[in-house]
């Protein structure tokens, strides 16, 4: 590539055709690689192409969040969640961060959320009632649903007139049962998002990756990296993720980083 030199630090996606970079060396399409600006550590850069890019695309392109919006971020203590809270807050929007425990809600609040909600204290319909209370009964302009399953039905009820609901995961691993009356009378728009299929549909991430990395380099966002483990300990990293024991991203490294 004419704009890159041998040995230059870069950020890359896998092009949507492989399960990720669990390797020492990788070959990727040229349109999936950008130079990494100074001021961004490689450990931070490793978190940007998936969680952060997903949050960026959903907040900036799909939901088109602006300063007059109220944004509900579900699973706000997750990797995508903490990124989305910061990206939405930077626009001047009011951010309501939902998380599944008091500790997680408090941690999500450290990233710029205006209000945090412990959904373990507001389960099921009580979550919807709390969001409506916090929005004066109107509902939110944007709901970012990173949970799926039953949570998606609640997201539709939490959206206000003309609202936008972005569904980008189903970590609940269960079907979503919805009532169409919860969204069509309000003229709510539903957006589906999956980064891998977006790439396969021709998405060129370079402009978004450059802007995102530049914002990190400028100190606009905080990228929480909890643990860096060698590639040989990938199993331990996954077990920690599955146990939901981490606060921040877990990075797998080959050799020394930075």
Q: Give the tens place of pLDDT for each residue, 144-186.
A: 999 999 999 999 999 999 999 999 999 888 999 999 999 999 9
pLDDT class of 1 with cuts at 50, 70, 90: low
The whole-angstrom separation of Cα 216 and Cα 57 is: 15
Decide yes or no: CATH 3.40.1370.10 for domain 54-197. no
The whole-angstrom separation of Cα 209 and Cα 38 is: 14
pTM higher than 0.75 for the full model? yes
Task: Write down the pLDDT at residue 241.
Answer: 81
Task: Write down the pLDDT at residue 226.
Answer: 84
Residues of the chain with CATH 3.90.180.10: 10-50+202-253
Task: State the average pLDDT for the chain.
Answer: 91
CATH number of 10-50+202-253: 3.90.180.10
Residues of the chain with CATH 3.40.50.720: 54-197
């Amino acid at each position: 590539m004419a704009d890159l030199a041998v040995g230059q630090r870069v950020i890359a996606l896998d092009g949507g055709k492989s399960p990720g970079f669990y390797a020492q060396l990788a070959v990727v399409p040229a349109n999936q690689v950008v130079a990494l600006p100074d001021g961004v550590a490689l450990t931070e850069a490793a978190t940007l192409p998936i969680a952060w890019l997903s949050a960026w695309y959903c907040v900036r392109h799909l939901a088109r969040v602006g300063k007059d919006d109220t944004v509900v971020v579900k699973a706000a203590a997750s990797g995508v969640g903490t990124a989305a809270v910061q990206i939405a807050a930077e626009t001047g929007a009011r951010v309501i961060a939902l998380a599944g425990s008091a500790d997680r809600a408090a941690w999500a609040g450290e990233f710029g959320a205006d209000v945090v909600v412990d959904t373990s204290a507001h389960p099921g319909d009580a979550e919807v009632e709390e969001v409506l209370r916090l929005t004066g009964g109107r509902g939110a302009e944007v709901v970012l649903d990173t949970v799926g399953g039953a949570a998606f039905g609640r997201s539709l009820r939490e959206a206000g007139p003309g609202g936008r609901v972005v569904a980008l995961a189903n970590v609940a691993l269960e079907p979503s049962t919805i009532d169409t009356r919860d969204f069509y009378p309000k003229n709510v728009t539903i957006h589906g998002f999956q980064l891998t299929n977006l790439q396969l549909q021709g998405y060129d991430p370079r402009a978004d990756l450059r802007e995102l990395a530049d914002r990190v380099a400028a100190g606009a966002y905080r990228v929480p990296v909890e643990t860096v483990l060698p590639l040989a300990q990938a199993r331990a990293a996954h077990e920690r993720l599955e146990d939901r024991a981490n606060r921040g991203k877990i990075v797998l490294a080959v050799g020394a980083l930075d």
